[in-house]
Amino acid sequence: MSGRVRALRGFPDIGPADTPAWLALEAAVQQVLLRYGYAQVRMPVLEATELFARSVGEATDIVEKEMFSFVDRDKNAMSLRPEGTASAVRLGIDGGLLRNAQSRLWYTGPMFRHERPQAGRYRQFHQVGVENFGTAGALADIEVIAIARDLLQAAGVLGAVTLEINTLGSATARAAYRDQLQQWLRAHADALDEDSRQRIERNPLRVLDSKNPQTQAALADAPRLADSLDEESRAHYAAVLEGLAALDIAWVENPRLVRGLDYYNHCVFEWTTQQLGAQGTVLAGGRYDGLVEQLGGGPVPACGFAMGCERVLLLQQALDCVPQAAPVDVYVCHEGGQGRLQALRLAQTLRQAGWQVLVDGGDGRLKGQIKRAATARARIVSKDEHADFTLLDAQAPAALSEHLQALCPAGAATPS
- Interface residues with ligand HAM (CB under 6 A) are 83-85, 113, 115, 121-122, 125, 127, 129, 131, 260-261, 281-286, 288, 304-306, 308, 310-311
Q: DSSP letter for 118, please.
A: B
Read off the amino acid at residue 89.
V
The alpha carbon torsion through 269, 278, 16, 82 (nearest 10 deg) reads 60
> Minimum distance from CB of 163 to ligand HAM (Å)?
13
Instruction: Determine the Cα angle at 166 with ends 162 and 168, to 5°.
Output: 155
Nearer to ligand HAM, 114 or 386 (CB): 114
Q: Which C-beta is closer to ligand HAM: that of 241 or that of 284?
A: 284
Distance (Å, whole) CA 142 – CA 282: 18
In the complex, the smallest distance separating the C-beta of residue 77 from ligand HAM, rounded to whole angstroms, is 21
Supply the minimum distance, in Å, between the C-beta of residue 233 and ligand HAM: 18
Q: 269 and 164 in contact (C-beta within 8 Å)?
A: yes
Q: Give the residue with the Cβ less far from ligand HAM, 314 or 387.
A: 314
Q: How far is CA 20 from CA 34, 170, 323, 324, 345, in A?
A: 21, 43, 7, 6, 28
Closest contact distance (angstroms) between CB of 105 and ligand HAM is 10
Distance CA 74, CA 79 (A): 14
310: left (phi over 0), alpha (psi -120 to 50) or beta: alpha
Of 93 and 283, nearer to ligand HAM (C-beta) is 283
**What is the DSSP secondary structure assignment for residue 221, as one 8-state letter?**
G
Q: How far is the CB of 125 from ligand HAM (least distance, A)?
A: 3
Which one, of 390, 384, 382, lies nearest residue 338 by Cα?
384
| Residue nearest ligand HAM (C-beta atom) | 308
Q: How far is the CB of 353 from ligand HAM (least distance, A)?
A: 42
The nearer residue to ligand HAM, 113 or 345, going by C-beta atoms, is 113
Shortest Å distance, C-beta 291 to ligand HAM: 9
Q: What is the chain's Cα-based Rg? A: 27
Q: Which of 311, 307, 315 is nearest to 33 (CA)?
A: 307
CA-to-CA distance for 89 and 67, rounded, in angstroms? 19
Of 131 and 384, which has the nearer Cβ to ligand HAM? 131
Nearest residue (CB) to ligand HAM, 131 versus 262? 131
